[in-house]
Amino acid sequence: MTAELTTTIKRGIALAVTILITLIFAFPLFWVVISSFKTRLDLFAIPPKWLFTPTLENYRGILASDFVRQFLNSLIIAAASTTISIILGSLTAYGFSRHNIRGSDFLLFWILSLRMLPVIAVVVPFYLLFRTLGLLDTHIALVLVYCIFNISFSVWVLKGFFDEIPLELEEAAMLDGYSPPQVFFRVSLPLARAGLATTAIFCLIQSLNEFLVALALTARAAETAPVGLAKLQTFLGTDWGRISAAATLFMLPVVIFTILVRNELIRGMSFGRMK
């Protein structure tokens, strides 16, 4: 009885500490969202104001600025690069999973290593290459570069999902007279749906968040939201109200995506060892 009671108390304390730490982690996010609804005066008040009359002034300001265009650029570039990466990535992942080719292990490792490539190493040559091709400050340039990282990621994650599909299903389809491409498109690909969705969301998030390549390869026309946010800080003095509003808006898709994949997150990371 007493032993049980102490375990319950211990667990209660452990839980309380956990929740407290989690809330500390969440706090900066909360504070920025709160700040986006503050007037300039409330923003810099000392002591900081917890209760205040909310204003939409910051959002009005940011929606009337270049940020909307930059946000759109971000979404277009992320969507295009994700689509291409998922198409090429799923084909190749399936290839590695089902049709071993010569040097598979080496090729697979090489593809993963591209994900580790320091951006700074490729940014300079890409700058010069795209300048020569006249593609500086275009959506295409960013889409192409992001595809390198996203394809590498897709191949690795999707291979795991294809590996989990039982071969018997594909054999049965073959017996029904399906050709290899039909087996892939009508049997395996639909079965890997969950994997495709998760991978797509990660590719989207990564392309939305990228900064250095976007900073180096764009000037105005194709500028993305992170670059715009960085410039907001440098040139407009430091309008923290607007920055908070822009950051809050920019966080929205990512938060929604995270909520969508929350259950896949842990399972995806255990590489199929968790059933």
Partner 1 sequence: MAEQAIAAETMPETAVSVATDVEGKWFRRLLFIPTLGFLVMMTIFPLLYSLGVSLFNYTTGGEARFIGLGNYANLVTSPEFWMATRVTLEVTVIAVAIEVVLGILLGFALHQRVPGIGIFRLIIFLPMMLAPLVVGLFWRFLLDQTFGLIDYLITLIGFEPIPWLTHPRYALASVIIVDVWQWTPFVVLLVLAGLGTVPGDLLEAAALDRASAWMKFRHIYWPHLRFPLLLALLFRSIDTLKMFDVPFILTGGGPGNFTTTLSFLGYRYHFQFFQIGMAAAISWVVVIIINIVANIFVRVLTPKKPREQVDTGL
Choosing from 167, 190, 235, 237, the residue that interacts with partner 1 (CB under 8 A) is 167
Return the residue of 7, 8, 10, 11 that touches partner 1, per CB under 8 A: 11
The answer to whether the beta carbons of residues 225 and 71 sit under 8 Å apart is yes
Contacting partner 1 within 63-82 (CB under 8 A): none
**What's the rounded Cα separation, in Å, for the pair 237 and 158?**
45
Q: Is 258 in the site for partner 1 (CB under 8 A)?
A: yes
- Of 56 and 117, nearer to partner 1 (C-beta) is 117
Q: How far apart are CA 168 and CA 88, in angstroms?
A: 25
State the nearest-atom distance from the C-beta of 53 to partner 1, in Å. Answer: 19
Binding mask 175-194 for partner 1 (x = CB under 8 A): x---xxx-xx----------
**100 binding partner 1? (CB under 8 A):** yes
- Cα 227 to Cα 143: distance, rounded to the nearest angstrom: 16
10, 44, 186, 236: which one binds partner 1 (CB under 8 A): 44
According to the 3-state scheme, what is the secondary structure of 88-107? HHHHHHHHHHHCCCCCHHHH
Report the alpha-carbon distance of residue 64 to residue 241 in Å, rounded.
14
Which residue shows structure tokens 């108390």?
9
Residue from 60, 113, 133, 221 binding partner 1 (CB under 8 A): 113
Residue 18 is a binding residue for partner 1 (CB under 8 A): yes
- Provide Rg for the chain, Cα atoms: 24
Q: Are the beta carbons of 232 and 243 closer than 8 angstroms?
A: yes
Site for partner 1 in 192-251 (CB under 8 A): 205, 208-212, 216, 226, 229-230, 233, 240, 243-244, 247, 250-251
Shortest distance (Å) from residue 64 CB to partner 1? 20
126 binds partner 1 (CB under 8 A): yes
How far is Cα of residue 23 from the mean position of the Cα atoms in its chain? Answer: 23
